[in-house]
Amino acid sequence: MYHFERGKILIVGAGLSGCTLGRILAENSFKVVIIEKRNHIAGNIFDNLNFNNERIHKYGPHLLHCSNNSKALKFLSRFTEWVKYEHKVRALLSDGRTTPLPINKLTIENIFGKSFANEQVTMKFLDKIRNKDLIPKNADELFESSVGNKLANIFFRPYTKKMWGVNPKELSINIGARLPVRTNEDCRYFNDSFQALPKYGYTAMVEKMINHENIEVNLNTPYKKGMELKYFHSFLSIPIDEYYDFKFGHLPYRSVLFEDRLECGNDLEAPVINFTDNSPYTRKTQWNLFPNCLNVKGDLKTITYEKPCSLDVNPGEYYYPVQTANSKEIFNSYKNLSRNHKSITFIGRTGLFKYIDMIPAVEIHIRLANRFIKKINNLK
Ligand SMILES: Cc1cc2nc3c(=O)[nH]c(=O)nc-3n(C[C@H](O)[C@H](O)[C@H](O)COP(=O)(O)OP(=O)(O)OC[C@H]3O[C@@H](n4cnc5c(N)ncnc54)[C@H](O)[C@@H]3O)c2cc1C
């Protein structure tokens, strides 16, 4: 058992990572204080209904996908019901047509003006156009080896360049590895057996998660150096480089500007359309095409355009850690330094300097909470 005289736990950041950790600690009798610099909970998965009764994800569309037997899913299902939703994305081509993404049989047929009898024929064609012998060492080479130069030039190179602000040759291979390439006609964005949206939105889900007698939440409360001294242990979902005053240099992040536009006219051909051109925008989202959005038949619909940018343009909005050999080295220096501070643990996307989807974020922080509880109980 935890001894209350040892003090409370501080969690900085009311995102999914911090709130998952907070809930598990609270259920194990820890008194938890969560502070959050923004005026809302849920971090980057925050959503709300706008004036037009559309459920908007303020920080970009968030799609939940995992296996049916995921532990994280079981945990989240305590706080929400789900609406089945299999995400679809199409890419806008230079001639105005759209085509399925990830690349599948139909995409290859559209681009090369061909028609394939079956999957095997498609696979044979793909093997002919891709650079099979290349052993990729970076994202650019991964594109070339998996789909060949023509498809890479349309779907991956310009998109990746504007998304990350660097040449794909400088990006590590795991950035390109996220998109599957298919030779069948499956137009779903993800393969996972469970794909859904929370019935009343992500914010309502997180609200229930932190609704516990042992959890206190303070919004509009930025972390200040030294706050952690008053607590038994602190979990910080803040940028690790910022905590250490950028001693080893800045860790690079990509940010995004979201532009909401009210538009009328035909629905988009999929809830998300990716741009393949050299414009500054990467994608647009029509919110009322998601099944947990209330305004399903409105004439005016909100379409959100995403424009990736540097942190200088959108200060404090750390979205995507840019993983390069150099940034990994810098992060490891901070990580080693943090090992000397036994009463703090860095958590979340910016504490771990790692892009993590929602399900992995929950999994990682369930594990972290359980390890912490075990350690404390062993101190008895
Ligand atoms: C644009 C975008 C799209 C995404 N799409 C998907 C998707 O489709 N599917 C999916 O599974 N995942 C997606 N993700 C990932 C998902 O957002 C994260 O897995 C999830 O939000 C968990 O994040 P977190 O709690 O670690 O960090 P965050 O959500 O960033 O939470 C950290 C919190 O800490 C607060 N904070 C930071 N510094 C301080 C400070 N100094 N003082 C006080 N508070 C502070 C922040 O304000 C924030 O609320 C996406 C992420 C981004 C950026």
Tell whether the model's pLDDT for residue 270 goes beyond 60: yes
Tell whether the model's pLDDT for residue 74 goes beyond 60: yes
State phi, psi for 298 to the nearest 5 degrees: -65, 150
Could you tell me if the CB of 73 is within 6 A of ligand 1?
Answer: no
Q: Is the dihedral of CA 367, 203, 289, 100 positive or negative?
A: negative
Identity of the amino acid at 179: L
Nearest Cα to Cα of residue 332 among 323, 342, 343: 323
What digits encode the pLDDT tens for the residues 23-72? 999 999 999 999 999 999 999 999 999 999 999 999 999 999 999 999 99
Q: Which atom of ligand 1 is nearest to the CA of 19?
A: 25
Domain ranges of the chain: 4-41+210-251+323-378, 103-176
What pLDDT is stored for residue 177 in this prediction? 63
What pLDDT is stored for residue 178 in this prediction? 63
Give the Cα separation of 72 and 366 in Å (integer).
Answer: 8
The first and second tokens of residue 277, run together, are 């051109």
What pLDDT is stored for residue 364 in this prediction? 98
What pLDDT is stored for residue 2 in this prediction? 47
| 206, containing H or E segment | helix 202-209
What digits encode the pLDDT tens for the residues 95-152? 999 999 999 999 999 999 999 999 999 999 999 999 999 999 989 999 999 999 999 9
User: How many Cβ atoms sit within 10 Å of the Cβ of residue 119?
Assistant: 14
Q: Whose CA is nearest to atom 15 of ligand 1?
A: 357
Averaged pLDDT of the chain: 94
Give the Cα separation of 202 and 50 in Å (integer).
Answer: 15
Tell whether the model's pLDDT for residue 317 goes beyond 70: yes
Query: Is the entire prediction scored with pTM above 0.75?
Result: yes
Tell whether the model's pLDDT for residue 320 goes beyond 50: yes
Give the Cα separation of 120 and 126 in Å (integer).
Answer: 10
The first and second tokens of residue 364, run together, are 């990682």
Give the Cα separation of 132 and 144 in Å (integer).
Answer: 9
Q: How far is the CA of 1 from the centre of ligand 1 (A)?
A: 31
What digits encode the pLDDT tens for the residues 166-218? 889 988 787 766 668 999 999 999 999 999 999 999 999 999 999 999 999 99
Give the Cα separation of 293 and 283 in Å (integer).
Answer: 19
Give the Cα separation of 102 and 180 in Å (integer).
Answer: 6
Q: Whose CA is nearest to atom 38 of ligand 1?
A: 238
> CA separation (Å) from 24 to 9, 12, 32, 137, 234?
12, 16, 10, 40, 15
Nearest Cα to Cα of residue 43 among 364, 359, 348: 348
Give the Cα separation of 154 and 132 in Å (integer).
Answer: 19
Q: Which atom of ligand 1 is nearest to the CA of 40?
A: 49
Q: How far is the CA of 314 from the centre of ligand 1 (A)?
A: 15
Q: How far is the CA of 109 from the centre of ligand 1 (A)?
A: 37
Pairing relation of β-strands 32-35 and 9-12? Answer: parallel
Q: How far is the CA of 18 from the centre of ligand 1 (A)?
A: 10
Tell whether the model's pLDDT for residue 312 goes beyond 60: yes
> Token pair 């009898």 is at which residue?
117
What pLDDT is stored for residue 1 in this prediction? 46
Could you tell me if the CB of 16 is within 6 A of ligand 1?
Answer: yes
Q: Whose CA is nearest to atom 14 of ligand 1?
A: 357
Three-class secondary structure assignment of 129-175: HCCCCCCCCCHHHHHHHHHHHHHHHHHHHHHHHHHHCCCHHHCCHHH
What pLDDT is stored for residue 378 in this prediction? 86
92 - beta bridge partners?
98, 275
CATH topology of domain 4-41+210-251+323-378: Rossmann fold (3.40.50)
What pLDDT is stored for residue 268 in this prediction? 96
Q: What proportion of the chain, given as a percentage, has pLDDT over 90?
A: 88
Best probe residue, ligand 1, of 11, 57, 58, 62 (max atoms within 8 Å of C-beta): 62
User: Within 13 Å, how many C-alpha atoms sit on residue 253's CB side?
Assistant: 26
Give the Cα separation of 275 and 76 in Å (integer).
Answer: 33
